[in-house]
Chain A
């Protein structure tokens, strides 16, 4: 009964196989640092490539965690930092017990990057 994969009808992940946002915060920050540190100018093409790369990297790192029955959504946004206003809001209708999300922001002198990761448990 240890592995959620072996059970036919599953309502909850086992404690060891639960998505833990705190553990993923660090992973996301690490990837953002690696990709965006030292980026001096904003350019449309570059950011388009970067947003995609960051999303793929985060997804791959999530897959490595091997949490059975979890679905993931990764959203990455990059915008130019020139003093304009921006806000993000989110609302979810889901199972608070096992679904969760991670929100991380990375700001440099030239760009402003925001990452949202959602993990949803599939019964």
Chain B
């Protein structure tokens, strides 16, 4: 029933490649816009698949230049048979994107 993981990963990769591109330079103003646009399109594509889920998409962009660390943890309290989470890590030259997708069955 659930959407296959590869499919979600492909959607995220496609959108980020399209919106940001692998060689983009980091600028804070642009990254806010890219981020907003990326989550919007990812959500749109997920909803377009026409499955009976509610979706939550979060995405964090981080500048990579200084070698800083990042830790992310997620914990859910839900029905693990019907609901699922997906994580995708996308990297470009100057930035790192961590995208989480949660699909909650209606």
Q: How many A-B residue pairs have CB under 8 A?
A: 142
B66 touches A44 (CB 8 A): no
B11 at the interface (CB under 8 A from A): no
A73 touches B72 (CB 8 A): no
Report how far A89 CA is from B36 CA in the complex, Å: 6
Partner of A62, one of B40, B72, B77, B83: B77
A76 touches B72 (CB 8 A): yes
Chain B residues numbered 63-106 whose CB sits less than 8 Å from any CB in chain A: 63-66, 68-79, 83, 85, 100, 102, 104, 106
Count B-side interface residues using an 8 Å CB cutoff.
44
Q: Please, what's the 1-or-0 string for A106-123, where 1 marks a CB less than 8 Å from any CB in chain B?
A: 000000001010101011
Name which of A42, A52, A86 has the most chain B CB atoms within 10 A of its CB. Answer: A86
Residues of B within 8 A of A (CB): 26, 28, 31-32, 35-36, 38-40, 42-43, 46-47, 54-66, 68-79, 83, 85, 100, 102, 104, 106
Report how far A94 CA is from B53 CA in the complex, Å: 8
Known pairs A89-B36, A93-B47; A83 contacts B66 (CB<8 A): yes
Inter-chain pairs besides A71-B79, A91-B40, A93-B47, 13 sampled, C-beta below 8 Å: A55-B74, A73-B75, A73-B77, A78-B71, A79-B62, A83-B66, A84-B68, A88-B35, A88-B60, A89-B60, A90-B58, A92-B43, A92-B56
Which residue on B lies nearest to A103, using beta carbons? B58
B66 touches A89 (CB 8 A): no
